[in-house]
């Protein structure tokens, strides 16, 4: 789907590793720790890594847990999720024998079998060995309709920045002297077999202040990349800009996207050689598929004599809309406790994914003479997360259906919209013992009276005596909804040991639509933290746990959440795990991709906005002599999205003030924290081992 999904792809791909620029906060005594690969900074990292490894990773219990999680990650019984490219179904696969992974393919008939036969297309371990590069897979874009050439993206060490290389599918080799874009934050897409749109780092003026491509160029085969002419550009203070061609047969169109902020954008279509703006609100996300224009609103919109509510999904004939007509069909309108989690246009239908009090409901919409007919997708569970993805949105109404929850292994099915129940294809084995476990939903009341739902997973016969080790997880930002999903590692590392898992649906997320997210933007960020604290307090009030047994975990924006639990609500927790976090909110917009998030947090360079940002900048709110729960901070040297300097400086300041804190930085791994299954297993085992030691048997 085009629109905001592609914005997320663009924005969540980040910059090459670099030193920090001078900025406010340059009097910070720990500024030197922002030198990502400086010898002095890495020596500091290795010293603290050694302390954490000695304490957490040397016991037989840790090694057993690490091995169990690794076995889950390497299991050949995982579901090999596939993508249809031409006549084949492609999968990227990692296991114990292929740490970096295999890009492989099969047919649908083979895929239906318990053990399909796979044809290996790219062996990333072999490629990395031959080229002496630490390659990590980042995907492939193959040119339709023949699907003979692909643009393959490869990352060094798990960074978001990629090298883009042209690959020939028939010969299964990289094209000599083919399209090659050096390591950068790039947007590259096919126009035809000999031409691509490309946005990348062309030098001064080619990137936005957020660090993303500002221009889109047309690059022809054999031409010099730097000489490619500019066909579209944004402004220097935009988040980014890019171009793409829709190759749907009969609906070929070229689109240009300018992302003004993370939540506002302009979109244009090429008409008679010139970009023509799609007349919509900047805050609305537009997607064009075949005949239809889809608009997802973040604000109320009055147009054509009618007002459409924020959170609604509208549809209109695209050509009629571009000619000036403003007749819309309302495909979804939110209520107080329902929101649109997503939608999937297909050849002749649309599947809606609706969250009803954070429970998934899927509907099939079919256009007709009297509007769109809506029917529930059959055969779905009452509780859990369900998603439907088109198999080939341009050619059929087939979809892959994924069903998952906290304690039931994930299943995959294949269906056709408008027909009967889908055909079961694959399912996970039980990676942990879920006997006696139950998932329930509860509500806490936040400081301002808002009802905040949360999921609780634990024993059916739980004793409400305050003694249960409980792990509270949250995110609360960027319209990301926290819904149930099956995790073998989490089950093995926490639930199987007798721990209680809680997932909080706090404001800042998308669980109840744009208003739920917007309620915690910028100056109102404290609402997300108040919600999370309210859930913690509710767990104690209900007797599920008590402060010494209650821990919390979060990463990235969720790491900022945990940082605020540490500095603002330390009395509520026995231990915290803070992963790849934002913590220095005075300098975050000067570090790597940070400037792109000012629509979420605010601009610290503006005094009136720094006034509220300072209130939830954990790095600036630490206090010597204050009692804090013991905390483990983790990050990655190769994280080129959230700068590792955030975690480094936080720990340095805490240690200076005499606080007991642990730190571990993976030298590889990118924003996900790990570049392969071995590293992922180690990082997960370290977090669970730390939390279990701190939260169990603490009476």
Rounded to 10 degrees, the C-alpha dihedral 496/498/499/503 comes to 60
Does residue 513 share a domain with residue 659?
yes
Q: Determine, yes or no, domain membership for 200.
A: no
User: Mean pLDDT, to the nearest integer, of 540-561?
Assistant: 97
Answer yes or no: is pLDDT of 572 > 80: yes
Which of the listed ranges 264-273, 664-673, 690-699 does the model predict with the highest average pLDDT?
264-273
Does residue 139 share a domain with residue 47?
no
- CATH code for position 471: 3.40.50.1820
Does residue 547 share a domain with residue 489?
yes
CB 294 within 8 A of CB 312: no
Q: Determine, yes or no, domain membership for 208.
A: no
Does residue 471 share a domain with residue 377?
no
User: Mean pLDDT, to the nearest integer, of 484-492?
Assistant: 95
CB 85 within 8 A of CB 103: no
Q: 636 φ, ψ to 5°?
A: -135, 135
Q: Determine, yes or no, domain membership for 555.
A: yes
Helix (H, G, I), strand (E, B) or coil at 232: strand
Query: Could you report how far apart the first and last alpha carbons of the chain are, in Å?
Result: 51
The tokens for 395 are 């050619």
Does residue 488 share a domain with residue 438?
yes
Spell out a b/e string for 172-191, using b for 16 or more CB atoms within 10 Å of the CB, else e.
eebeeeebebebbbbbbbbb
User: Mean pLDDT, to the nearest integer, of 657-674?
Assistant: 78
User: Mean pLDDT, to the nearest integer, of 544-570?
Assistant: 98
**Bridge-partner residues for 174, per DSSP?**
167
pLDDT band of residue 158 (cuts 50, 70, 90) is confident
pLDDT > 90: percent of the chain: 86
Q: Determine, yes or no, domain membership for 368.
A: yes
Count of CA atoms in the C-beta half-sphere (13 A) of 396:
14
How far apart are the C-alpha atoms of 27 and 24, rounded to whole Å? 8
Q: For residue 385, give its domain range.
A: 336-428
How far apart are the C-alpha atoms of 266 and 260, rounded to whole Å? 7
CB under 8 Å to 335, separation ≥6 — which residues? none
Domain boundary among the residues 114, 140, 173 is at 173
Does residue 506 share a domain with residue 463?
yes
Q: Determine, yes or no, domain membership for 421.
A: yes
Q: Which residues are designated catalytic?
A: 556, 671
The confidence score (pLDDT) of residue 19 equals 33
Q: Determine, yes or no, domain membership for 207.
A: no
Question: Apex CA 394: angle with CA 280 and CA 143, to 5°?
Answer: 100
Q: Determine, yes or no, domain membership for 282.
A: no
Does residue 494 share a domain with residue 641?
yes
Mean pLDDT of the chain: 92
The confidence score (pLDDT) of residue 668 equals 60
Strand ranges, E, within 460-587: 470-473, 500-504, 550-555, 575-579
How far apart are the C-alpha atoms of 550 and 547, rounded to whole Å? 5
The β-bridge relationship of strands 149-156 and 162-168 is: antiparallel
User: Mean pLDDT, to the nearest integer, of 121-135?
Assistant: 96
The tokens for 591 are 């570090």
Alpha helices in 13-154 (DSSP H): 39-56, 60-74, 108-111, 124-131
Domain count, the chain: 3
Rounded to 10 degrees, the C-alpha dihedral 254/256/257/258 comes to 180
User: Mean pLDDT, to the nearest integer, of 168-183?
Assistant: 97
Does residue 566 share a domain with residue 454?
yes
Q: What's the per-residue H, E or C state across 29-43?
A: CCHHHHCCCCHHHHH
How far apart are the C-alpha atoms of 327 and 102, rounded to whole Å? 48
Spell out a b/e string for 491-524, using b for 16 or more CB atoms within 10 Å of the CB, else e.
bbbbbbeebbbbbbbbbbbbbbbbbbbbbbbebe
User: Mean pLDDT, to the nearest integer, of 246-268?
Assistant: 95
DSSP 8-class letter at 422: P
Cis peptide before 145 (omega within 30 of 0): yes
CB 93 within 8 A of CB 101: yes
The tokens for 682 are 């180690």
Does residue 441 share a domain with residue 568?
yes
Does residue 397 share a domain with residue 503?
no
Interval 528-545: pLDDT, tens: 999 999 999 999 999 999
Domain boundary among the residues 152, 173, 194 is at 173
**Bridge-partner residues for 187, per DSSP?**
199
Q: Determine, yes or no, domain membership for 228.
A: no
Strand ranges, E, within 460-568: 470-473, 500-504, 550-555
Global pTM value:
0.89
The tokens for 649 are 């400086």
Does residue 518 share a domain with residue 422?
no
Does residue 446 share a domain with residue 368?
no
Answer yes or no: is pLDDT of 7 > 50: no
How far apart are the C-alpha atoms of 341 and 333, rounded to whole Å? 12
How far apart are the C-alpha atoms of 691 and 699, rounded to whole Å? 15
Domain boundary among the residues 386, 410, 428 is at 428
Count of CA atoms in the C-beta half-sphere (13 A) of 472:
34
How far apart are the C-alpha atoms of 430 and 181, rounded to whole Å? 42
């Amino acid at each position: 789907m085009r629109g905001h999904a592609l914005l997320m792809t663009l924005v969540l791909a980040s910059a090459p590793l670099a030193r920090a620029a001078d900025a406010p906060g340059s009097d910070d005594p720990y500024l030197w720790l922002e030198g990502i690969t400086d010898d002095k900074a890495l020596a500091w990292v290795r010293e603290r890594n050694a302390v954490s490894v000695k304490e957490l990773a040397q016991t037989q219990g840790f090694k057993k847990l690490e091995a169990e999680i690794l076995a889950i990650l390497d299991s050949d019984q995982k579901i090999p999720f596939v993508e249809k490219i031409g006549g084949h179904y492609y999968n990227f696969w990692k296991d114990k024998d292929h740490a970096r992974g295999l890009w492989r393919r099969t047919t649908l008939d083979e895929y239906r079998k318990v053990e399909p036969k796979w044809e290996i297309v790219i062996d990333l371990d072999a490629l990395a060995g031959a080229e002496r590069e630490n390659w990590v897979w980042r995907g492939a874009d193959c040119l339709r309709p023949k699907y003979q050439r692909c643009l393959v993206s490869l990352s060094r060490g798990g960074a978001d920045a990629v090298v883009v290389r042209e690959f020939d599918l028939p010969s299964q080799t990289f094209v000599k002297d083919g399209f090659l874009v050096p390591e950068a934050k790039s947007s590259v897409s096919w126009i035809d077999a000999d031409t691509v749109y490309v946005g990348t780092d062309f030098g001064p003026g080619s990137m936005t202040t957020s660090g993303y491509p500002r221009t889109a160029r047309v690059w022809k085969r054999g031409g010099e990349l730097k000489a490619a002419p500019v066909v579209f550009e944004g402004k220097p203070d935009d988040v980014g800009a890019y171009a793409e061609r829709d190759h749907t047969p009969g609906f070929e169109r070229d689109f240009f996207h300018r992302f003004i902020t993370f939540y506002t954008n302009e979109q244009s279509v090429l008409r008679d050689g010139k970009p023509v703006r799609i007349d919509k609100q900047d805050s609305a996300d537009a997607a064009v598929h075949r005949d239809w224009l889809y608009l997802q609103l973040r604000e109320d919109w009055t147009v054509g004599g009618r007002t459409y509510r924020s959170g609604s999904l509208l549809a209109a004939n695209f050509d009629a809309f571009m000619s000036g007509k403003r007749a819309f069909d309302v495909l979804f309108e939110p209520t107080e406790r329902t929101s649109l989690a997503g939608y999937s246009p297909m050849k002749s239908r649309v599947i809606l994914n609706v969250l009803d009090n954070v429970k998934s409901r899927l509907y099939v919409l079919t256009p007709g003479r009297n509007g769109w007919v809506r029917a529930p997708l059959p055969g779905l569970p009452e509780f859990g997360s369900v998603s439907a993805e088109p198999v080939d949105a341009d050619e059929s109404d087939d979809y892959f259906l994924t069903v998952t929850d906290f304690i039931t292994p994930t299943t995959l099915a294949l269906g056709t919209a408008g027909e009967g129940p889908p055909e079961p294809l694959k399912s996970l084995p039980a990676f942990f013992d879920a006997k006696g476990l139950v998932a329930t939903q509860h509500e806490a009341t936040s400081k301002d009276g808002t009802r905040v739902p949360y999921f609780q997973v634990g024993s059916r016969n739980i004793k409400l005596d305050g003694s249960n080790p409980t792990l509270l997880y949250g995110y609360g930002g960027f319209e990301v909804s926290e819904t149930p999903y099956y995790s073998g590692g989490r089950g093995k590392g926490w639930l199987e040991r007798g721990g209680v898992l809680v997932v909080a649906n706090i404001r800042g997320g998308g669980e109840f639509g744009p208003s739920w997210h917007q309620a915690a933007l910028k100056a109102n960020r404290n609402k997300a933290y108040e919600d999370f604290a309210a859930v913690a307090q509710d767990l104690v009030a209900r007797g599920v746990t008590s402060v010494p047994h209650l821990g919390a975990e979060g990463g990235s924006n969720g790491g900022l959440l945990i940082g605020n639990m540490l500095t603002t609500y330390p009395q509520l927790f026995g231990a915290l795990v803070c992963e790849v976090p934002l913590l220095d909110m005075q300098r975050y917009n000067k570090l790597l991709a940070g400037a792109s998030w000012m629509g979420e947090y605010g601009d610290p360079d503006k005094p009136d906005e720094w006034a509220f940002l300072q209130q939830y900048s954990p790095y600036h709110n630490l206090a010597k002599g204050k009692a804090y729960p013991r905390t483990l901070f983790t990050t990655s040297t190769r994280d080129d999205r959230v700068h590792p300097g955030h975690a480094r400086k936080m720990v340095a300041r805490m240690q200076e003030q005499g606080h007991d804190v642990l730190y571990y930085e993976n030298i590889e791994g990118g924003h996900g924290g790990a570049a392969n299954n071995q590293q992922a297993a180690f990082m997960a085992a370290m977090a669970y081992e730390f939390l279990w030691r701190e939260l169990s048997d603490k009476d």
